Amino acid sequence: MGQDDEVVDAELVEDGELVRAGSPVHPLVDLHTVLMPGEKIPTSDDPRVTYTKRDLDLSQETKDLMSESDPAETGPMKAFRAWCEEHGRVASPCTTATFTEYSRHLMARKLKVTTIQNYMSLIRSAMPPGKKPDNSLYLRLLATYRKGNKRALRRKEAFPLTLSYLVPMMEKAEADDRPIGWRDAAMFAFGYRFLGRSREDVDADLEDLTILDDRIVVWLAEDKTHKGEEQTIVLHDREDLQLVFRMRRWVGYLESQGITTGPVFREVLRSGKIASLETRMKRGDGATKRGEYLRPQTVNERVKFWFKKAGLQSDGRPVSSQGLRAGGATDLGENGATDRELEEAGRWKKGSRIPRERYVRPAKDAAHDPFKKVPMHSPEPVAAEDAQA
């Protein structure tokens, strides 16, 4: 145990009081111990440092804010807890051995390297502060796995939903003239033109948008590559996209139900009404953690649904909500947009290779066929005497 990991003990006392030495039982705490409301302090019988309860407590308000992005409630952590229960191991805080064994379990399932890295990172983040497992052994296993499993390194990019695919999807969604179709068409048009990540699309509030006759102005507090840096983004409309019309129709429907603030994109019930927060809470599913905001996964599901309904086919790459962002970037790149224009449109970091290498170049490579330079073979007609022979 290193110097930074030293465990210290103290006796739980009334707030503000000092600990008296010699008490038989003492709380086991260190500088990183955090108590959620209602949690008790673990105890030990070897006191060395004096703390009061005030040093350890978090408020209910802080807990509520933290629960909105609690890594302990992610899918990978839930799967890890289930695996630990099945194998008689403690999930949190887990030991380094348990953490390492679980990584081997994921590798045995032949998951992609990026997937394993994401899962293990989320699990480690979910451990209590100061009690995270050592990941050096897991990384050694991953290095071996990477060398021996070339398919696990393969990364399937999302199929780009360019305008030739997007317009039929939106028209199909609108065919029945129902509120859920209005929402989905607006959501797709916005996602394509905004070049946003799914989370950014569904996190947008009505207060963040100004809808004008020929454009939409979006205020964005921050994004993945611009932390703490607000932006004002102008989305000019197009005749084929009809962004303003589709957004106004959807926002107008929200206004007809008395909704003028909060999330732009919301759950629509079978009746056509917008689901209230109370309705979502009563249902008790995973969506309630997002309150009235849609889950990013919902955008993914709706993209897949309307792609299939429109009778479209991909080239083997997966169809997902990421395709909205990929489609916009691909259309730009294939039609002469400069690197700087691509970076600014998608809010990538300056000098990022992602837009060109991930979206534009694959599309151009797929369209390029060097064999077109070879003349078509046209066999000479066979002479009659040769045919008789």
Extents of the domains making up the chain:
1-57, 71-153, 156-214+238-335+359-389
pLDDT at 50 over 70: no
Greater model confidence, 362 or 14: 362
pLDDT at 4 over 60: no
- CATH code at 156-214+238-335+359-389: 1.10.443
Q: Is-contact 55 11, C-beta < 8 A?
A: no
Rg (CA), the chain: 28
Residue 14: per-residue pLDDT: 46
Residue 389: per-residue pLDDT: 55
Residue 114: per-residue pLDDT: 85
The 10s digit of each residue's pLDDT in 65-92 is: 666 656 667 788 999 999 999 999 999 9
Identify the sign of the CA torsion 176, 178, 182, 184.
Answer: negative
Q: State the pairing for strand pair 26-29/209-211.
A: unpaired
pLDDT category at 153 given cuts 50, 70, 90 is low
pLDDT at 348 over 50: yes
pLDDT category at 1 given cuts 50, 70, 90 is very low
pLDDT at 276 over 90: no
Greater model confidence, 385 or 126: 126
pTM: 0.63
Residue 51: per-residue pLDDT: 58
**Mean predicted confidence (pLDDT) in 133-146:** 92
CATH of 71-153, one of 3.30.360.10, 1.10.150.130, 3.10.310.30, 3.40.50.150: 1.10.150.130
Structure-token pair, residue 164:
């030739």
pLDDT category at 302 given cuts 50, 70, 90 is very high
143-156 per-residue burial string, b: 16 or more CB within 10 A, e: under 16? eebeeeeeebeeee
DSSP category for residue 223: B
Greater model confidence, 89 or 377: 89
Greater model confidence, 70 or 146: 146
Greater model confidence, 114 or 185: 185
pLDDT at 26 over 80: no
pLDDT at 387 over 70: no
Top mean-pLDDT range of 57-71, 112-126, 205-219: 205-219
CB-CB neighbours of 314 under 10 Å? 14
Residue 35: per-residue pLDDT: 74
Amino acid identity of residue 208, one-letter, is D
Nearest to 34, CA basis, from 150, 129, 171: 129
pLDDT category at 369 given cuts 50, 70, 90 is confident
Contacts of 74 (CB under 8 A, 6+ apart): 122, 126
pLDDT at 184 over 90: yes
Q: What is the spatial distance between Cα 350 and Cα 344, in angstroms, rounded to a whole number?
A: 8
**Mean predicted confidence (pLDDT) in 109-124:** 90
Q: What is the DSSP string of 86-149?
A: HTT---TTPPHHHHHHHHHHHHHTT--HHHHHHHHHHHHHTSPTT-PPP-HHHHHHHHHHHHH-
pLDDT category at 245 given cuts 50, 70, 90 is very high
- C-alpha separations of 202 from 219, 263, 356 in Å: 14, 7, 26
89: left (phi over 0), alpha (psi -120 to 50) or beta: beta
121-125, 203-207, 247-251, 365-369: which range is least confident on average?
Answer: 365-369
